[in-house]
């Protein structure tokens, strides 16, 4: 298996794109749902484990969402598979609210929180996620339709640090397609479970996957590769802009234990519009607004009100209860209590 094309692609991605160093992280937590993508990543990373210059061992990290009749069956299967493979095993249960809005987003947030918790408790510094090139293209298209910022349009990063900075999340499959993943699974007779969320026709991502991507793929068979190139350029531009915004880091002053960020309106008016949008975005992310729920139209609207000199007070209520208030003197960002 070590010489399989997909395993080689994962190895290249780990070295060249994910910045993986085995000396720093001898063990890797693999986020595994039991679906085809995560099963492929698990077996590819296990094939590399123990080889010179690679990690010594992988640990399966499973999160049971209890969203299907197969959920417990998948957990048992994965635990027994981990025992057969001789790899580590950690598991958490979460219970997303089926009636609390976006089920997919809620499940994702709870899953990522559980994975971070498991990694920290196990003393592991790297979490490997199984997003592939088709997932990247879907993400970029969905964010384009939402009017995301350039950093949002860059999609998912090959590698990024957690907010605390103590974990690194890597995506070694971004350079391959779902079809290549399925080919790998079939070549090696690897069993997988279907994610119940993938069968829901009302989810926008599923409609995009079933109706839009096939048409795009027919005209641009390697569209995911072009998407990766565009993502790299957008991420580089966003990084450059982020460096510029650091010069304005002192515009906002924290109070109440960091729960409130305040900036003088006059000082904000002296910052160029695009840079001010980036500054505001960074502060809102710090305040707890999830990146996938922070639309660029919101930051543009706030910046426009700052620049026009509108004196009447304005307030915006964002995701997770974060509030932005603007009056004639200041702009205040308040975390949800």
Could you tell me which residues are annotated as the binding site for ATP? 33-38
| HSE, side-chain direction, 13 A CA sphere, residue 9 | 17
What CA–CA distance (Å, rounded) separates 8 from 5? Answer: 5
Which residue is it, tokens 């069968």? 199
Residue 72's nearest CA partner among 89, 93, 87 is 93
Contact 140, 221 (CB under 8 A): no
Could you tell me which residues are annotated as the binding site? 33-38
Contact 10, 130 (CB under 8 A): no
Contact 54, 22 (CB under 8 A): yes
Element (H, E) at 169: strand 168-170
What CA–CA distance (Å, rounded) separates 286 from 261? Answer: 10
Residue 138's nearest CA partner among 185, 104, 101, 98 is 104
What CA–CA distance (Å, rounded) separates 321 from 337? Answer: 8
Token couple for 196: 């119940």
């Amino acid at each position: 298996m070590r010489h399989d094309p997909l395993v080689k692609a994962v190895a290249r991605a780990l070295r060249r794109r994910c910045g993986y160093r085995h000396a720093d992280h001898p063990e890797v937590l693999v986020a595994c749902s039991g679906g085809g993508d995560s099963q492929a990543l698990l077996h590819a990373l296990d094939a590399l484990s123990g080889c010179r210059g690679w990690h010594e061992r992988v640990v399966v990290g499973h999160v049971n969402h209890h969203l299907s009749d197969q959920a417990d069956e998948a957990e048992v299967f994965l635990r027994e598979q981990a025992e057969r493979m001789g790899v580590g095993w950690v598991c958490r249960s979460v219970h997303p609210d089926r009636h609390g809005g976006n089920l997919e987003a809620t499940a994702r947030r709870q899953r990522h929180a559980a994975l971070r918790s498991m990694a920290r408790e196990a003393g592991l510094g790297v979490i490997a996620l199984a997003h592939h090139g088709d997932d990247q293209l879907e993400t970029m298209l969905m964010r384009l339709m939402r009017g995301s910022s350039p950093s949002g349009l860059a999609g998912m990063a090959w590698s990024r640090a957690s907010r605390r900075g103590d974990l690194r999340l890597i995506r070694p499959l971004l350079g391959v397609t779902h079809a290549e993943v399925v080919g790998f699974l079939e070549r090696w007779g690897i069993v997988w479970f279907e994610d119940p969320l993938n069968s829901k026709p009302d989810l926008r991502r599923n409609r995009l996957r079933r109706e839009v991507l096939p048409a795009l793929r027919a005209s641009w068979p390697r569209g995911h590769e072009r998407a990766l190139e565009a993502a790299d350029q957008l991420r580089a531009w966003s990084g450059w802009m982020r460096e510029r915004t650091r010069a304005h880091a002192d515009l906002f002053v924290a109070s109440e234990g960091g729960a409130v960020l305040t900036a003088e309106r006059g000082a904000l008016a002296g910052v160029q519009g695009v840079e001010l949008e980036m500054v505001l975005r960074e502060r809102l992310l710090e305040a707890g607004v999830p990146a996938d729920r922070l639309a660029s139209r919101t930051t543009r609207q706030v910046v426009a009100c700052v620049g026009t000199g509108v004196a009447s007070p304005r307030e915006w209520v964002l995701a997770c209860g974060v509030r932005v208030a603007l009056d004639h003197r200041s702009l205040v960002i308040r975390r949800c209590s």
